[in-house]
Structure 1
Amino acid sequence: MAFRTFLKSLGANAPSVETVVANRAVRPGDRIQTHVTIRGGGADVRVDRLVLELVTRAEDREGETGWNRPVPFAERHVGPFELRAGETLAHRIDLDVPWEAPLTYVLGRPLRGGRVAVRTTLEIDNAVDRGDFDEIAVHALPAQDMFVEAYRRLGFRLDEAEVKMGVVQGGDNQTMPFWQEIEFDFPDYYRRPQGEQLETGFFARPDSLDVFLGSTGAHRFEYAGLTVEACQKWLDAYCREEWQM
């Protein structure tokens, strides 16, 4: 999928940018491949920077559906370089997807509230033009899907996800300026206040996953040997202890 933005701030004969994202379905730890084509306008210009970013929506910065103040969490840039009138330049730019990237898909299905996009920015003579947002799918890692499936088997209902700015309680190893909170509605057989949800955060690393439940801090799980059945057994025991049945 491609998008092109004409640099309105530089006039009618300004350069244009087209970005093609080669792999729009990824997981944390993957690499996104993009191909960016810049076409010169009616005059020679000096491009200060061509920037590609991964951005997400934070609930305390945005409206219900907008991209008013997206939060960048990965970046690559090229420049400075000269762009002659009518010239075409092509760049391949790869973006590494951080392990703590917000998820937009779990169990192969869209996660309500999860949004991540690639944003292209061209800076010329102190004029900055930010292109359209090319949304991508960030699928859960196998261990994350195991826990979501464990919730499902125990009768929890997946509600939505929110990205919140700041540091989660107990998140000593958190590397992003935000965390994603996934909200689950309790099944009826756990005793808890009316309307309370189990808020979960997944903090992934190459070899293990920290699971945050409510305000109890991190619970670490190694990927090696982890199964849905083990996740379900642990989660059920945790809930029975916290919310006596």
Structure 2
Amino acid sequence: MVFKRLLGAFGVGAPSVDTVLATPGVRPGETMRGEVRLKGGDFDADIEYIALGLVTRVEAEHGEGEQTGLMEFYRTEVSGPFRLGTGEERVLPFEFPVPWETPVTEVWNEPLHGMAMGVRTELAIAKAVDKGDLDAIRVNPLPSQDVVLQAFARLGFQFKGADLEVGSLYGVDQHLPFYQEIEFYPPPAYAHVVNEIELTFVASPAGLDIVLEADARGGHSGYSGDSFGRWRASHEEALHRDWAAEINGWLTALAQHGGHGGYGGHHDPYDHDSHHGGHDLGTVAAAGAAGVVGGMIAAEVIDEIGDMFEGEEEEED
């Protein structure tokens, strides 16, 4: 597949490239390691650069509905210019830090439905660029995130799925132009209180912001609609808190007082200027952190990253 891609970009007899990950499973804040393996083609090639990017599928809401596409949210250069000789083989080792806000794609060895993430290799020769290799990665939760997820499991909640929304969270030091929502179905004990709950983590070296959004049924208060809970803790503190009790307390307050329960904070944490403000992916990304590449990607590429998580890769003509 990789070789066929490079034929299309650079012509018959062009070099081939393959990226091998030493750490296909990582946590936010850890280091991704591996190597890029090059093999020269039928002619000497002047390589301009080789870059790696973390790519994921995101959703953006706007006035006309919703767009889904791929976004590169981290980028690093493996090599600058060099000449690759005819038939020459070269191995370029690399390592780079995985951003702390990187979304979780797998929990307890089970993939989160709706998540798709990979490392894309970009090779430039003579001003032509080929995004020629895409490798799936698994992102597991931090221990501080895992204890919160375990609390939901102990309370009987079941994973529904997850997605990434373009936008920002109010009052949170957020660096990526999107956030993750992990969705849960409630157990019978809470079914009269909420239809579903969405969990958002924003991690940093210092700790963890936790935001819960409940689609409330109303309970004794008769209130229905979205209600929010917010917590902040260091990674060490999070390990020692009784999150099942905290979540249960928030839901109890929600059942009694509806949107005015205020357990852990109840104001809407989402920045609606970017969450629902009519921006497309390219606009939001252009206003975000340097190095983030936004915009919609061709449909066949979206299909490819989806197939990638099923262990399949599409070949292009």
After TM superposition, the score normalised by the length of structure 2 is 0.68
Q: Is the 8 A contact 2:19 2:133 kept in 1?
A: no
Equivalent residue number for residue 88 of structure 1: 89
**CA distance, structure 2, for counterparts of residue 152 and residue 79 of structure 1:** 47
Identify which range, 124-133 or 142-151, moves more after superposition.
124-133
Q: How does 1:76-115 map to 2 (within 5 A)?
A: 76-77=76-77, 78-115=79-116
Residues 1:119 and 2:117 aligned together: no
* Greater share of residues in strand: 1
User: For 1:35-55, what per-residue CA distance to the aligned partner results, in whole angstroms no more than 9, with x for missing partners?
Assistant: 111122222222121011111
Amino acid at match of 2:55: V
Q: How does 1:23-62 map to 2 (within 5 A)?
A: 23-60=23-60
**CA distance, structure 1, for counterparts of residue 231 and residue 237 of structure 2:** 16
* 4+ residue segments displaced more than 6 Å: none
Amino acid at match of 1:85: T
Q: Is the 8 A contact 1:56 1:102 kept in 2?
A: no
Residues 1:177 and 2:192 aligned together: no
Q: 1:23 to 1:156 in 2, by over 3 A?
A: same
Q: How does 1:148-159 map to 2 (within 5 A)?
A: 148-159=149-160
**CA distance, structure 2, for counterparts of residue 167 and residue 105 of structure 1:** 23
Deviation, 1:179, is 0.8
**CA distance, structure 1, for counterparts of residue 168 and residue 229 of structure 2:** 12
Compute the RMSD of aligned alpha carbons: 2.2
**CA distance, structure 2, for counterparts of residue 172 and residue 142 of structure 1:** 20
Amino acid at match of 1:29: G
Deviation, 1:227, is 4.0
Q: Is the 8 A contact 2:122 2:133 kept in 1?
A: no
Identical pairs, percent = 37
Equivalent residue number for residue 14 of structure 1: 14
**CA distance, structure 1, for counterparts of residue 255 and residue 240 of structure 2:** 22
Equivalent residue number for residue 200 of structure 1: 199
Deviation, 1:172, is 3.0
Amino acid at match of 1:199: E
Secondary structure at 2:256's aligned position in 1?
coil
Q: Is the 8 A contact 2:39 2:88 kept in 1?
A: yes
User: For 1:56-107, what per-residue CA distance to the aligned partner results, in whole angstroms no more than 9, with x for missing partners?
Assistant: 111449xxxxxx9421122211212222222222211112111111111123
Deviation, 1:15, is 0.8
Secondary structure at 1:244's aligned position in 2?
helix
Secondary structure at 1:32's aligned position in 2?
strand
Deviation, 1:31, is 0.7
Q: Is the 8 A contact 1:208 1:222 kept in 2?
A: yes
Please list every run of 5 or more consecutive structure 1 residues that lacks an aligned counterpart in the other structure.
62-67
**CA distance, structure 1, for counterparts of residue 246 and residue 24 of structure 2:** 34
Amino acid at match of 1:204: A
Amino acid at match of 1:16: S
Deviation, 1:217, is 6.4
Of 222, 232, 245, which aligns to 1:220?
Answer: 232
User: For 1:99-153, what per-residue CA distance to the aligned partner results, in whole angstroms no more than 9, with x for missing partners?
Assistant: 1111111233222122221111101122111123210111111111111111111
After TM superposition, the score normalised by the length of structure 1 is 0.87
* Greater share of residues in helix: 2
User: For 1:214-238, what per-residue CA distance to the aligned partner results, in whole angstroms no more than 9, with x for missing partners?
Assistant: 2636420222243476111111111
Amino acid at match of 1:226: A
Q: Is the 8 A contact 1:74 1:96 kept in 2?
A: no
Equivalent residue number for residue 133 of structure 2: 132
Equivalent residue number for residue 64 of structure 1: none
